[in-house]
Amino acid sequence: MKQLIVIIPKKKSKKLLKLLKKQSIKKYFVDKAEADDKYTITLTETQSKDLVKKIRSDLKIHAGKPSTQGYIVVSDAQVIAPYVYGKELLVELEHLILTDVKDFVRADRNFILFLITAGVIASLGFLMENLPLLLGAMIIGPIMPSIMAIAYGAAVLNKNIILKGLKTLLIGIILVLSSSIILNLLFANPDLSLEIQLATANSNVVVVLIISLLLGLIAAASFLTGKFEIQTGIAISITLIPPLANFITLLMNNEPFYALSALTSFAINVAGMQTAALIAFIYFKRKAKG
């Protein structure tokens, strides 16, 4: 946890109060002096970083400005009650997904660019039968955050998050399929052996389901603990983008059965990850509250 001490001239207090309300921050203390007001706020680390950034921007407290314009002190806070460690993590997760939900479920320009690029790279990987390209597509494609957001939305019964997550996931799927269709039309390879494509599509359904469930638990744990560095490994293991590109490649090379198998693999991966993540989020939520 972090403690923010914000000391500002009285004329800026109204702006800060408005900002705190906008950020849904209700627990803080205010000490009023003759010329300045002192705000003491206890937050999670992620919340404190975002709030400091917004305070500096909205209240114009920048480096090099005189202290009479206001200043911010950030320090570590060891909260004994009423929080426990699990509850602190729950607050952190809620902030990451609820307050910054746009980062998880908004199809912004970066999301669209990365998905189109991932679809192109995956399609080229299959058309050129190049495994390193397929690995690159797995890393680039930002589909997993929306899957985690949908699971979390279901865990907390937040319809808004679920709908936004489903919309973003659907947009991602359409982008990958569209880019794969275009690549297969532009660079059709009549001499394609389909060895990699068929081997990738012909996966054991039970094995795919077990792997997706395990990776769903790991992905949920990484979101809960803030250890996002393992997301790359999860993205490579779960293979969300290649099955979609493979579906188009096989379909356009007259292999409808294997194409359906590739699409089924993608659906199982998504469903398995969401199911496992949902269970993890519900368990953690109940444990933190208990």
Beta bridge partners of 75: 3
Tell me the per-residue pLDDT of 168-205, one tens digit each, with 9 for 90 and over. Answer: 999 999 999 999 999 989 887 767 777 777 766 667 88
pLDDT of res. 182? 94
Whose CA is closest to 279, among 233, 217, 224? Answer: 217
How far apart (Å, rounded) are the C-alpha atoms in residues 195 and 153?
Answer: 40
CA–CA separation, 280 vs 268, rounded Å? 18
pLDDT digits (tens, 9 = 90+) for 63-89: 767 767 788 888 876 544 444 444 444
Q: In what order do the strands lie in the sheet with 28-32?
A: 28-32, 36-43, 2-9, 71-76
pLDDT number for residue 289: 62
User: Which residues fall within 8 angstroms of residue 54, CB to CB, at 6 or more apart?
Assistant: 19, 23
User: So what's the pLDDT on residue 175?
Assistant: 94
**Is residue 61 over pLDDT 80?**
yes
pTM of full prediction above 0.85: no
Cα 169 to Cα 245: distance, rounded to the nearest angstrom? 15
CB of 164 within 8 A of CB of 152? no
Give residue 208's identity as a one-letter amino acid code.
V
CA-CA-CA-CA dihedral for 201, 207, 209, 211, to nearest 10: -100
CB distance 128 to 81 below 8 Å: no
What are the structural domains, with CATH classification, of the chain? 2-76 (3.30.70.120), 86-289 (1.20.1080)
d(CA 142, CA 52): 28
Residue 96: what pLDDT?
A: 53
Phi first, then psi, for residue 254 (nearest 5°) are 60, 45
